[in-house]
Structure 1
Amino acid sequence: MITIIDGINAHHFQNLLKQSYALRARVFRDRLGWEVNVENGMETDVFDTLNPTTLVSLDTSGRVVGSMRILQTTGPNMLADVFNAILQGEPAPRSPLIWEATRLCVDTDRLSMTGCPRSKSSISYVTSEIMVAACEYAMEAGVKDAVAVIDPLMNRVLKRSGNAPYDYLGAPTAMGKVTAMAGLLDCSEERVNRLRERSDIRGDVFLKESAAIEQHGDHKYLPSPSKADMSKYMSEQLQAAENTTDLKATLKLIAELHK
């Protein structure tokens, strides 16, 4: 099941986030050999300080077995600020209707020990579950497209899973030890249905927040954001709105938070 962790509820799930960061270190540094920042066994970067959304996949014991980070393209993101060479001089996507999907990783070692099934496309259930969740979560938020910086290996995984990009930005570019690409993926019912069919995923993939807190939340909670902090954040969002769509989205969020 997938737990959604964001800037509003992250104080409940610090342990799950730490597990996610530790998994990222094992995958990106130890397995793939990427040059990433790892401290105390956890891989993090500056984008983790921006209150991103993290989709976390949990096994039956409550352990993190996969995760993905989602960033808004209206602010700092990896394609615009780290991998912009891919774009060949073209501007990075900037829209509240486009999200950036980053840091998708799966604990293949644990899954092999627990006998996690693979779909008929040979992709692990957890990988497909995260992809389904990301697409459905984006659609619920009104997001139309996602951009993802990937390497050729992940590009093949996306194609096998039924989640192939419908287009690419810029050109494949050498980045250290890997070749980086920027893929565009629509967030649509058609994509969700294709993912679910290839992985035989049925029913709701999300664990409700109340259940997640009860079952997997931290026993010692960090302070939740204060009203002053939330008011400041909302004020900044209103001031940053560039069009009617941005303004309506911010007003909708304010209304939800005041329920």
Structure 2
Amino acid sequence: MIIVIDSLNKHMFTEVLDEMFRLRARVFGDRLGWDVNIVDGKEIDEFDHLDPAFVVGLDDEGHVVAAVRALQTTGPHMLSDVFHDILDGEAPLRSATVWESTRFCVDTQRLNRGKSKNSVSYATCELMIGSLEYARRAGIQDIITVIDPIMDRVLKRSNNAPYGYVGKTVPMGKVAALAAMLDCSEDRIDRVREFAGITHDVFLTEEEALKVFSKSHPITTEVQDQPTPANQDTKPLTMLEKYFAEQMQAAQSEEDVQAVLKLIEAVSATNPPTQRQVLSQVPQALTNEA
């Protein structure tokens, strides 16, 4: 089960991202021995702060079992700024239709062997399908990915062999690193699907992902703990109103509150109930400050 987390919805999935960063620490720091920055058990680097897209796989129990990061090559990315030795003097790829895929990892400790739904093979293929389909829908034609020789063999065995390589293979921790090229064609996606026997839509909606994740990570919010005002509008919040309410919940200063209120006021000019609905979900202390 796949969820895509980006700059627009990451505020909803902070716990999912934390678990993903912990998985990355175990894989790249402990297992592969890469020189990565691990703080509080989480592996996070400067590229995670550039609003990349994270394609994340969840198992049936709601645990993060696979993940990969997608970043545009038009700006800073790992191959140009960190793994430049791989390029062997070549200029880094820079194109709006080429994305860099890095930090591909699977939880080999939690998943079993074979090709069942909760296996390493299944989770790997599902993540490949999710990342390729997500990129294709975004208009991306090719992916360049920094991998190790083991992952290169995994790609080939899963009928997802790279169509080419860039630069050379260089030492990296306990293993080596190389840069491979993958097209985001329907043919490639179909080949991986056929290999894995995956015919269904692999993506979860945001609501479905939160529900699955909460199976093993109970999610509580301040909104759920607040008493319901007698005059509260009982009409369900729209997605836009939910977004505003979440932003108000995340506000850390009066300046933050004022910024959200101005945006609510602008929208409420054409939809007055929006302001009432949103403010009913916000802690009274915040609205009093405003």
Query: TM-score band, normalised by the shorter chain?
Result: 0.7 to 0.9
Map residues 9-20 of structure 1 onto 2, 5 A cutoff: 9-20=9-20
The aligned residue for residue 99 of structure 2 is: 99
**Residue matched to 1:164:** 161
Q: CA deviation at 1:177?
A: 3.8
Find the aligned partners of 1:31 and 1:167 in 2 and give their Cα distance: 27
Corresponding residue number in structure 1 for 2:205: 208
Q: Counterpart of 1:183 in 2: which secondary structure?
A: strand
CA distance in 2, matches of 1:209, 1:163: 28
Shift of 1:216: 3.6
Alignment of 1:1-259 (within 5 A): 1-112=1-112, 117-118=114-115, 124-216=121-213, 219-220=220-221, 223=250
For 1:46 and 1:227, locate their aligned partners in 2 and report how far apart those are by CA, in whole Å.
30
Q: Deviations over 1:187-228 (max 9, x none)?
A: 000100100011111110000123224554754456399998
Deviations 1:22-42 (A, max 9, x none): 001111111222221111111
| Alpha carbons of structure 1 residues 76 and 189: separation in structure 2 relative to 1, 3 Å | same
Aligned partner of residue 124 in structure 1, secondary structure: helix
Aligned pair count reads: 224
CA positional deviation for 1:176: 4.5
Among the aligned pairs, what percent are the same residue? 51
Per-residue displacement from partner, 1:77-131 (whole Å, max 9, x unpaired)?
Answer: 100100111112111111110011110111111112xxx6427xx9610000000
Query: What amino acid maps onto 1:204 in structure 2?
Result: D
Residue 95 of structure 1 aligns to a residue whose secondary structure is: coil
Q: CA RMSD in A?
A: 2.4
AA of the residue aligned to 2:122: Y
Q: Which has the higher contact order (CA 8 A, sep 6+)?
A: 1
Q: Is the 8 A contact 2:32 2:175 kept in 1?
A: no
Residues 215 and 59 from structure 1, CA distance in 2 versus in 1: closer, same or farther, beyond 3 angstroms?
closer
Secondary structure of 1:108's aligned partner: coil
Amino acid corresponding to residue 32 of structure 1 in structure 2: L
TM-score when scaled to structure 2? Answer: 0.72
Q: How far does the alpha carbon of each residue in 1:153-212 deviate from its partner, in whole angstroms, 9 at most, with x for none?
A: 111111111111100111112334432211000000010010001111111000012322
Q: Secondary structure at the match of 1:48?
A: helix
C-alpha separation between the residues in 1 aligned to 2:173 and 2:111?
29
CA distance in structure 2 between the partners assigned to 1:212 and 1:22 by the alignment: 19
Cα 1:108–1:123 shift into 2, 3 Å: closer
Deviation at 1:53?
0.6
**Given the superposition, is the C-alpha separation of residues 80 and 210 from structure 1 closer, same or farther in structure 2, using an over 3 Å criterion?**
same
Matched to 2:190, the amino acid is N
Q: Secondary structure at the match of 1:101?
A: strand
Unmatched segments (≥5 aa) in structure 1: 230-259
AA aligned to 1:39 is V
Query: What amino acid maps onto 2:187 in structure 1?
Result: E
3-state secondary structure, aligned to 1:109: coil
Give the distance between the partners of 2:171 and 2:148, measured in 1 at CA. Answer: 10
CA deviation string 1:39-88 (max 9, x = no partner): 11111111111111111111112111111111111111100100111112
SS of the residue corresponding to residue 68 of structure 2 reads strand
Mark the runs of 5 or more structure 2 residues left unpaired by the alignment.
222-245, 261-290
